[in-house]
Amino acid sequence: MRNYFPLLLMFVVVAATVGAIIVLSAVLGPKRRGKVKDSPFECGFQPFQLPTDRFFVRFYLIAMLFILFDIEVVFLFPWAVVFKALGWAGFWSIFIFIFVLGAGYVYAWRKGAFQWE
Amino acid sequence: MEIAVFLFLSGIAIVAAANILVQRHPIYSALSLIVTFVALAGIYIQMHAEFIAVMQIVVYTGAIMVLFIFVIMLLNAGAEQKVPDKVHVVKYFGLPLASLLIFEAGLTASRTFDGEGIPVESASINLSGNTEMIGRALYTQYALPFEVTSVLLLVAIVGAIVMAKKEL
Amino acid sequence: MEALLKLLSDNVAGYGSLASPLQYLLPMVLASLCCIALVALFPIVAVYAERKVAAHMQDRLGPMRVGGWHGWAQTIADGIKLLLKEDIIPSEADRVLFKLAPLVVFAGGFASLVVLPFGASVIVSDLNIGVLYVVAISSLGVVGIIMAGWASNNKYALFGGMRAAAQIVSYEIPAVMAILTVVIPVGSLSTQEIVRAQEGGWLGIGNWFIFKPVTAVAFLVYYLASLAEVNRTPFDIPEAESELVAGYHTEYSGMRFAFFMLAEYVNMFVVSAIGATLFLGGWNSPVFGGPVAFMLKSVALVFVQFWLRWTLPRLRVDQLMYVSWKVLLPASFVLVILAGALAVR
Does B113 reside within a domain? Answer: no
What pLDDT was estimated at residue A91? Answer: 83
What pLDDT was estimated at residue B64? Answer: 84
Give the residue from chain B lying closest to A114, CA to CA: B161
Does B7 reside within a domain? Answer: yes
pLDDT tens-digit map of B92-106: 777 888 889 988 888
Q: Nearest-CA distance from C57 to chain A in Å?
A: 31
Residue among C102, C129, C103, C100 nearest C114 (CA):
C129
The shortest CB-CB distance from B128 to any of C128, C140, C165 is to C128
Question: Dihedral of the CA atoms C206, C210, C211, C214 (nearest 10)?
Answer: 130
Scan residues 157-196 of C and list those with Cβ closer than 8 Å to A.
Answer: 157-159, 162, 165-166, 169-170, 172-173, 176-177, 180, 183-184, 187-189
CB contact under 8 A, A39 and C91: yes
SS3 A71: helix
Does B92 reside within a domain? Answer: no
pLDDT tens-digit map of B42-52: 888 887 788 88
Residues in chain A closer than 8 A to B62 (CB atoms): 70
> What gap in Å lies between CA B123 and CA C288, rounded to an integer?
35
CB within 8 A of C253, min separation 6: which ones? C85, C86, C87, C88
B65 with B135, same domain? no
Does B111 reside within a domain? Answer: no
Residues in chain C closer than 8 A to B65 (CB atoms): 143
CB contact under 8 A, B66 and A4: no
CB contact under 8 A, A85 and B46: no
CB contact under 8 A, A40 and C92: yes
> What gap in Å lies between CA B125 and CA B52, rounded to an integer?
13
Amino acid of residue C38: L
CB within 8 A of C180, min separation 6: which ones? A73, A76, A77, A80, C336, C339
For C66-84, the DSSP string reads TTSGGGTTHHHHHHHHHHT
CB within 8 A of C312, min separation 6: which ones? C233, C234
B144 with B70, same domain? no
CB contact under 8 A, B160 and A8: no
CB within 8 A of A87, min separation 6: which ones? C344
CB contact under 8 A, C340 and A83: yes
CB contact under 8 A, A72 and B70: no
Q: Do the beta carbons of residue C100 and residue C147 sit within 8 Å?
A: yes
Which helix (H) or strand (E) covers residue B110, if one does?
helix B88-110
What pLDDT was estimated at residue C58? Answer: 87
Please name each of the domains of chain A with its CATH number.
2-110 (1.20.58.1610)
Q: What angle do CA C168, C174, A88 make, to 5 degrees?
A: 150
CB contact under 8 A, A70 and B62: yes
Residue B160 pLDDT more than 80? Answer: yes
For chain C, list residues whose CB is within 8 angstroms of any CB belonging to chain B.
97, 127-129, 132-133, 135-137, 139-140, 142-143, 146-147, 150, 162, 165, 169, 172, 188-189
> What gap in Å lies between CA C171 and CA C169, rounded to an integer?
6
Q: Does the N-terminal peptide bond of residue C286 adopt cis geometry, omega within 30 degrees of 0?
A: no
How many domains, in total, are found in chain B? 2
SS3 B115: coil
Q: Do the beta carbons of residue C247 and residue C157 sit within 8 Å?
A: yes
What pLDDT was estimated at residue B80? Answer: 64
What pLDDT was estimated at residue C34? Answer: 81
The stretch C18-45 carries a mean pLDDT of 78
> What gap in Å lies between CA B21 and CA B154, rounded to an integer?
33
Q: Which domain holds residue B136?
A: 128-168
> What gap in Å lies between CA C171 and CA C326, rounded to an integer?
11
Q: Do the beta carbons of residue B34 and residue B65 sit within 8 Å?
A: yes
Does the CB of B167 have a partner CB in chain A at under 8 Å? yes
Q: Nearest-CA distance from A53 to chain C in Å?
A: 10
Residue B119 pLDDT more than 60? Answer: no
First to last CA, chain A: 49
Cα A65 versus chain centre, distance? 13
Q: Nearest-CA distance from A50 to chain B in Å?
A: 12
B65 with B1, same domain? yes
B136 with B63, same domain? no
Q: Nearest-CA distance from C343 to chain B in Å?
A: 17
Task: Using pLDDT thresholds of 50, 70 and 90, give the confidence band for residue C257.
Answer: confident
For A79-96, the DSSP string reads HHHHHHHHHHHHHHHHHH
Does B102 reside within a domain? Answer: no
CB contact under 8 A, C165 and B131: no
Scan residues 129-158 of B and list those with Cβ closer than 8 Å to A.
Answer: 131-132, 134-136, 138-140, 143, 146-147, 149-151, 153-154, 156-158
Distances (CA, A) of C163 to B70, B124, C100, C190: 11, 43, 20, 32
Does the CB of B34 have a partner CB in chain C at under 8 Å? yes
Report the range out of C87-91, C124-128, C331-335 with the highest average pLDDT. C331-335
Residue B123 pLDDT more than 70? Answer: no
ipTM over 0.90: no
Task: Report long-range pairs for A83-87 (Cβ below 8 Å, ≥24 apart).
Answer: A83/B135, A83/C184, A83/C187, A83/C340, A83/C343, A83/C344, A84/C187, A84/C343, A84/C344, A85/B136, A86/B135, A86/B136, A86/B139, A86/B140, A87/C344
B63 with B7, same domain? yes
Q: Nearest-CA distance from B51 to chain C in Å?
A: 7
Residue among A81, A73, A78, A113 nearest A97 (CA):
A73
Task: Using pLDDT thresholds of 50, 70 and 90, give the confidence band for residue C341.
Answer: confident
CB contact under 8 A, B132 and A82: yes
CATH number of residue B17's parent domain: 1.20.120.1200
CB contact under 8 A, A28 and C84: yes
> What gap in Å lies between CA C297 and CA C293, rounded to an integer?
6
Query: Which of A18-22, A81-85, B57-61, C131-135 comes out lowest in average pLDDT?
Result: A81-85
> What gap in Å lies between CA B13 and CA B125, rounded to an integer?
25
The stretch A47-66 carries a mean pLDDT of 72
CB contact under 8 A, A77 and C317: no
> What gap in Å lies between CA C48 and CA C61, rounded to an integer?
12
Does B37 reside within a domain? Answer: yes
* C258 vs C29 pLDDT, higher one: C258
Does B58 reside within a domain? Answer: yes
Task: Using pLDDT thresholds of 50, 70 and 90, give the confidence band for residue B118.
Answer: very low
CB contact under 8 A, A51 and C25: no
